[in-house]
């Protein structure tokens, strides 16, 4: 076989709908290039299934540049695959060896029910966002750039958590399926900035309350979420959210 060509066995979770019984199904795929992205390899597999008149594998993707957060799956027991801090679409087949067996599963969390195959319903995140991940500001002419002074430390800290792409890897990799890292990032991004101060307490209380309603588990600070987060968001974000919670309860 050409050094750049690979033959692998994919074991992929197949499930017709949320109420169906799912199972892993094996597919031997030959002729893959080590330079293919992981999603391109799944595309290639789907093309072979089309030619056989078999059902294609449902999986999510959009930007394929590590920006949108749509492509997340478990690969050999790890969120997004064998490397830290990347998305599934940034993973390449050269991360595996010719002859490998690669197990691909959807996110596993009660709050993320399977829709079909590798696609899960992550609208729980949307409902958390709806509770306060915005600011109320007058519309009209944009303010002059220097009108609101923000120190570089504050701006950098806000941008660090704003990098969250909502992929759900933090939930999927957490033994309790906690959404604390995601929720804290969305809260702290705005609560750190002057523009977010008018609703700061209400934002924190409303978004954490919705998080609890969505059947996510509790955070126990094992930091698995931090390891798998493509944006490298620290669990310090969770600590900051928790520290401000009592103040928000008192003054919110």
7-58 per-position pLDDT tens digit: 999 999 999 999 999 999 999 999 999 999 999 999 999 999 999 999 999 9
Is 246 found in the same domain as 177?
Answer: yes
Of 49, 73, 106, at which residue does a domain stop? 106
Is 173 found in the same domain as 75?
Answer: no
Comparing C-alpha atoms, which of 213, 42, 40, 246 is closest to residue 125?
Answer: 213
Is 49 found in the same domain as 131?
Answer: no
Q: Which domain holds residue 245?
A: 123-251
Is 183 found in the same domain as 65?
Answer: no
Is 169 found in the same domain as 101?
Answer: no
Whole-number average pLDDT of the chain: 94
Residues 108 and 251: their CA atoms lie apart, in Å, by 37
Q: Count up the domains in the chain and report the number.
A: 2
CB 6 within 8 A of CB 93: yes
Is 65 found in the same domain as 29?
Answer: yes
Is 155 found in the same domain as 205?
Answer: yes
Is 175 found in the same domain as 79?
Answer: no
Within-domain flag for 27:
yes
Q: Which long-range contacts (CB under 8 A, 24 or more apart) does 156-163 make?
A: 157/192, 158/188, 158/189, 158/190, 158/192, 158/193, 160/233, 160/234, 161/185, 161/186, 161/188, 161/189, 161/192, 161/233, 161/237, 162/189, 163/231, 163/232, 163/233
Is 223 found in the same domain as 127?
Answer: yes
Q: Please give the radius of gyration of the chain, using alpha carbons only, rounded to the nearest integer.
A: 21
Is 39 found in the same domain as 129?
Answer: no
Residues 161 and 208: their CA atoms lie apart, in Å, by 16
Q: In this structure, what CATH number is given to the domain that contains residue 58?
A: 3.10.20.30
Within-domain flag for 113:
no
Give 250's pLDDT tier (boundaries 50, 70, 90).
Answer: confident
Q: Is the pLDDT of residue 123 over 60?
A: yes
pTM assigned to the model: 0.93
Within-domain flag for 114:
no
Q: Is the pLDDT of residue 147 over 90?
A: no
């Amino acid at each position: 076989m050409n050094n750049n060509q690979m033959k692998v066995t994919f074991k992929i979770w197949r499930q017709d709908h949320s109420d169906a019984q799912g199972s892993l199904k094996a597919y031997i795929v030959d002729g893959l290039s080590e330079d293919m992205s992981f999603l391109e390899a799944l595309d290639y597999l789907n093309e072979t299934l089309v030619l056989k008149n078999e059902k294609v594998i449902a999986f999510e993707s959009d930007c394929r540049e590590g920006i949108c957060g749509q492509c997340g799956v478990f690969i050999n027991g790890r969120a997004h695959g064998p490397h830290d801090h990347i998305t599934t679409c940034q993973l390449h087949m050269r991360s595996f060896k010719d002859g490998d067996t690669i197990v691909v599963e959807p996110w596993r969390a009660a709050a993320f029910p399977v829709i079909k195959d590798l696609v899960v319903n992550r609208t729980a995140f949307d409902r958390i966002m709806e509770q306060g991940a915005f600011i109320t500001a007058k519309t009209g002419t944009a303010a002059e750039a220097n009108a609101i002074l923000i120190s570089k430390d504050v701006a950098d800290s806000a941008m660090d958590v704003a990098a969250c792409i909502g992929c759900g890897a933090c939930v999927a990799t957490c033994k309790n399926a906690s959404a604390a890292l995601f929720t804290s990032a969305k809260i702290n991004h705005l609560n750190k900035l002057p523009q977010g101060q008018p609703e700061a307490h209400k934002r924190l209380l409303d978004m954490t309350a919705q998080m609890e309603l969505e059947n996510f588990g509790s955070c126990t600070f094992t930091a698995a979420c931090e390891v798998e987060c493509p944006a490298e968001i620290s669990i310090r974000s969770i600590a900051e959210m928790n520290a401000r919670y009592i103040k928000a309860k008192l003054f919110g």
